[in-house]
Amino acid sequence: MSLHANPLAPTPGVLDDLEAIRILDRSGMLDLTEAFPQQCRDAAAIASSFVSQLPPAAKPTQVVITGLGGSAIGGDLTASLAAASADVPIVVNRDYDLPGFVGPQTLVIASSYSGNTEETLSAYRHAREAGCRIVCVTSGGELARMAEADGAPVCRIPRGRPPRASTGYLLIPTLAVVASCVALDADSGPEALGAAIELLTDCSRRWGRHVPLADNPAKQIALALHGRIPIFYGTQGYRGVLAVRWKGQFNENAKSHAFANVLPEQNHNEILGWDQARTQAQNWSVVFLRDPLELTATPRIAKRVEVLRTVIGNKADQHEVWAEGTTLMQRLLSLMYLGDFASVYAAFLNGVDPTAIAGIDLLKSELARMEG
């Protein structure tokens, strides 16, 4: 990562102050983040036992993964991992309704950590009416109740965590269900998880709370972005999904605004927004989410980044973060994991509890009180 001095940064001491972190992090988001590799190990065991018990089924003609927020990202990641090899379309749906094409040959994976998200419950009912094959990934709630009453398989994941801190539990069973009926490459299917979890374990040691700011890139990126509006640019493919994940994590954990876009699309519209940005962008920071293979495998994408960086010039702060590892699974998970850590450290710099989500809770409770 390239780091510039940030005049808006507070005293960064909080990032290395374990007692201050303990007080701010009342519900243990950093514990959950540090323990993510272990969560992935547990999730792999849950997923393989679940998939081994699925009744035999015909190959679907499409897969639709439906969910919202932290429960949709597992779908996005699955679709990215499968993009190169899947022989049927994999669509992620974030709405009350499913696309019109769904029918008896569609596999619908309903993903809701709580099992009570109304859009997902509505999409589940839509799938049931359309005669789809349905599989649920949830910790319980109304989704598990309905599915069990309907005889649809439910992969039960442990309850009691924020959904966005349960990405292993949400992604890995979803991926395993998809891999049971859709072709996936060896470096992106469930068999790639072991090596990826080893890398994540090493990342957790390098990015965890005990590694001081001077040696910790996750703390450094949080500090570089403090007091600024981050714009996350994914440089292609899975980095586009991760730009949205980094944005969501900065929104939910750090309670900070953030924006995201992906190349090459950005080069066809948003690039022009930088014309007027000279004054607007004083408090913006651009973070490019990059993959080491870009330089050799997709040099035209690397060139696009180079040109875009010149267009942005000194109008905004610019940084680059890079995926680690060799397999697609390693690169995708390591780059996601860096953003998860950085967003939690950003919360501490903002003096907020990363777990609290008052605005989302208010919205859900107001909608639950509404009739119809």
Q: Active site residue: 252, 255, 294, 319, which one?
A: 252
Q: Is the Cβ–Cβ distance between 197 and 207 less than 8 Å?
A: no
User: Look-up: residue for tokens 């009180």?
Assistant: 369
Question: Is 219 designated active site?
Answer: no
Please report how close the Cβ of residue 119 comes to ligand F6R at its closest, in angstroms: 8
- State the Cα–Cα distance between residues 59 and 62, nearest whole angstrom: 9
* Local structure of residue 196 (DSSP, 8 states): H
Containing 364, the helix (H) or strand (E) segment is: helix 358-369
The nearer residue to ligand F6R, 188 or 253, going by C-beta atoms, is 253
- State the Cα–Cα distance between residues 105 and 57, nearest whole angstrom: 10
- Of 269, 315, 309, 310, the C-alpha closest to 288 is 309
Exactly one of 40, 43, 44, 68 binds ligand F6R (CB under 6 A); that residue is 68
Size of the site for ligand F6R (CB under 6 A): 16
Containing 334, the helix (H) or strand (E) segment is: helix 328-349
Exactly one of 3, 183, 297, 360 binds ligand F6R (CB under 6 A); that residue is 360
Residues 124-163 that bind ligand F6R (CB under 6 A): 162-163
When asked if residue 74 is in the footprint of ligand F6R (CB under 6 A), the reply is: no
Residues 6+ apart with CB under 8 A from 313: none
- Of 343, 16, 19, 17, the C-alpha closest to 211 is 16
Amino acid at 285: S
Please report how close the Cβ of residue 205 comes to ligand F6R at its closest, in angstroms: 25
Q: Active site residue: 19, 210, 268, 306, which one?
A: 268
One symbol per residue from 281 to 300: x for binding ligand F6R (CB under 6 A), - otherwise; what is it? --------------------
> By the criterion CB under 6 A, which residues form the site for ligand F6R?
67-71, 112-114, 117, 120, 162-164, 252, 357, 360
Active centre residues (catalytic) = 252, 268, 364
